[in-house]
Amino acid sequence: MANDVLRSFFAIGLDEAARRAAVLRIRALGECPGGDAVRWVAPENLHVTLRFMGDVERSALPELAEAVRRATASVPGFTLRLGGVRIFPSRRRPVAVTLDLEPEAPLRDLAGAIERGVRAAGFAAEKRPFRSHLTLGRVRRGKRSAFPEPSEEFEAPLDVACEIERAGLFRSELSPEGARYTVLEEFPLAASEPGG
């Protein structure tokens, strides 16, 4: 029965330069006092989630992928920039360490198109509003009080841009060694506008 259901999500990946910059930021944060209070994301798993699906019947995936492909076909590609470090949901209750992403508008547009495709395929609407971010790590439950506030130097945006030309449907496989993500389908975006 487990083989008939796949834990899945829609996301965009990072190019090598953006991934390298994010990994360097993770290493620097990890070396700070309290850095071991965070379970940092493995370099190969860095991605920007656009819509988490959870468990989806394998038989429903082709229709879901086709609906999202149609919905995203006219969304133009764009340039994404990595921003500064933020603590989510707040510094008083740290759960995740994230990077801001700029600009937010094209990410929101792409997430909205994916949501329309998901709903067209017969899935329920997402209840939570979309929040653009790149997760660098999650604060371990028993260590939240030990996690210090990162210094102001980490709030400065990273001087790195990443061209976003496609989105993807990913499979997530959880294990004691950590999550493993596999691309199931890719959805090319439209050519970006000149100067966009």
Domains of the chain: 2-188 (3.90.1140.10)
pLDDT of residue 82: 96
pLDDT (tens digit, 9 = 90+) per residue, 127-149?
A: 999 999 999 999 988 776 667 66
Does residue 173 or residue 1 have the better pLDDT? 173
Q: Whole-prediction pTM value?
A: 0.90
Mean pLDDT of the region 24-47: 92
151-163 pLDDT, tens per residue?
A: 777 888 998 999 9
Cβ atoms of 64 and 119 within 8 Å: the answer is: no
pLDDT score recorded for residue 195 = 47
Question: pLDDT by residue (tens digit) across 72-131?
Answer: 999 999 999 999 999 888 878 889 999 999 999 999 999 999 999 999 999 999 999 999
Task: Convert the pLDDT of each residue in 167-195 to its tens digit.
Answer: 999 999 988 777 889 999 999 999 865 44
Residue 105, sorted as left (phi over 0), alpha (psi -120 to 50) or beta, turns out to be alpha
Structure tokens given for 15: 């190019």
Confidence at residue 148, expressed as pLDDT on a 0 to 100 scale: 66
Beta-carbon contacts of 24 under 8 Å, excluding residues fewer than 6 positions away, are: none
Which ranges of the chain would DSSP assign to H, the alpha helix? 16-30, 61-72, 104-120
Q: What is the DSSP letter of 186?
A: E
